[in-house]
Amino acid sequence: MIWTLKKASFRIFHMSMKLGAMVLPFPVPKLITGPGSVKKLADQVKADGLSNVLVVTDRVLMGLNVPENLLKSLEAKGIQYKVFDDVQPNPTIHNIENGLQHYRLNKCDGIIAIGGGSPIDCAKVIGARLVNPSRSVRQMRGTFKLWKSLPPFYAIPTTAGTGSETTLAAVVTDSETHEKYAISSLPLVPKYAVLDPELMIGLPPHITSTTGMDALTHAVEAYIGLNGNRFTDKNACDATKLIFDNLEKVYENGSDIDGRNNMALASFYAGTAFTRAYVGYVHAIAHNMGGMYGVPHGLANAIILPYILDFCQVEAEKKLAKLAIAGGLGTSGEPQSELAQRFIDKVRSLNQNMGIPSYIKELQEKDIPLIAERALYEAHPDYPVPRIMTQKECEDIIRQLMP
């Protein structure tokens, strides 16, 4: 009885969020796209009147010279920059505070993030801390806590991926508590996003596959959740089709520039969908695998996605069937249940073909209750999932992920 009432209260909350999402002024980043497009950003930065930007990235990317063309074009336009490359995967509060100091010490006037979701998210929260100096990162946790505009902020994704270049979210790790959580506020949407597939050519196959599965998870969770609308549904369907058509291609051949371009677009579309329609239990559990064991976000999502689809297959059958059709797996004349099953099978076969396991190797039985508790704390009531789960059901699903 109490559980029934609780579920009803979650559904009321979801409905209010759906209405809220319809009236909230979601900013949309202006896009600069196509091979070589990173070189065009400096013109925009100059036109925006900036003269000294903080470039947020990570050491691996600096070692691979991925930001080279960006930095050269800034120099050519006479724009000074300071590189902050101390961002680690699953960025921490420490990384953010460190970047904030660099911005202040160098008297920067804008931020360019170039990297995967980790540098982009770190840069978002550096910007948020700058304009909200009296609020700690922990105090920003949750939804719609921030309202002040960030300094001019440009995002250049080098994975396809998180979609962070279009979302209102930043995911941070608290190294003290081993928690990973989202800060979701409208000002975190970047002003500009540059989608340049040339930056993604050197992305190794195992990161190509897992980040691509993160994008697929965004599309799927946004689509099968209860808070989608025509706009988010279209973005989720387009992303799914692009991912089914291109992910394995770029996993096999990283230099396939058309494939990379399509994956960059897919990631952007999926981000556009989930930032309005939310994610679901896959992300809630994955974030906690990241916080607890440092499991990369995309890898955790890829592994968990089929199990959650099994869990909600009946409730989400109609939408999974539609997504299967959108993804080119069947036609509308076929039985819904078969199409839905085919969709789940496709997710499993993508994982298998790209060497992604069906378990989380770091997972320990003793941690399962806490991971489940934290995942449900994240998901309830925020995520408008098709089927609401209990602590016991969540623990049972996580147990299936044991090595």
Determine if 330 is a binding residue for ligand NAD (CB under 6 A).
Answer: no
**Which residue is it, tokens 């925009």?**
44
Chosen residue from 60, 83, 186, 257 binding ligand NAD by CB under 6 A: 60
- Structure-token pair, residue 174: 């608290």
Query: Segment near ligand NAD (CB under 6 A), from 67-75, 93-101, 199-207, 257-265?
Result: 199-207
Binding pattern for the stretch 119-158 against ligand NAD, x by CB under 6 A and - elsewhere? --x------------------------------------x
Chosen residue from 102, 297, 319, 374 binding ligand NAD by CB under 6 A: 297
* Residue 303: partners with Cβ closer than 8 Å, 6 or more residues away: 351, 356, 357, 358, 359, 360, 401
- Structure-token pair, residue 255: 């230099």
Shortest distance, position 327 Cβ to Fe ion, whole Å: 19
Shortest distance, position 171 Cβ to Fe ion, whole Å: 8
Determine if 214 is a binding residue for Fe ion (CB under 5 A).
Answer: yes
Burial 189-199 (b: 16+ CB within 10 A, else e): bbbbbbbbbbb
Residues 216-255 that bind ligand NAD (CB under 6 A): none
Stated length of the chain: 403
Determine if 179 is a binding residue for Fe ion (CB under 5 A).
Answer: no
Chosen residue from 298, 306, 327, 386 binding ligand NAD by CB under 6 A: 298
- Tell me how many residues contact Fe ion (CB under 5 A): 1
**Which residue is it, tokens 């890829």?**
302
What is the spatial distance between Cα 392 and Cα 376, in angstroms, rounded to a whole number? Answer: 11
Shortest distance, position 138 Cβ to ligand NAD, whole Å: 17
What is the spatial distance between Cα 50 and Cα 59, in angstroms, rounded to a whole number? Answer: 25
Work out what residue 60 binds among Fe ion, ligand NAD, none; the CB cut-off runs from 5 to 8 Å by kind. Answer: ligand NAD
- DSSP string across 18-51: HHHHHHS----PEEEESTTGGGGHHHHHHHTT--
What is the spatial distance between Cα 181 and Cα 288, in angstroms, rounded to a whole number? Answer: 8
Considering beta carbons, is residue 11 or 293 the nearer one to ligand NAD? 293
Determine if 164 is a binding residue for ligand NAD (CB under 6 A).
Answer: yes
How many C-beta atoms lie closer than 10 Å to residue 355's C-beta?
A: 11
Chosen residue from 74, 199, 250, 295 binding ligand NAD by CB under 6 A: 199
Work out what residue 246 binds among Fe ion, ligand NAD, none; the CB cut-off runs from 5 to 8 Å by kind. Answer: none
- What 3-state class would DSSP assign to 149? coil
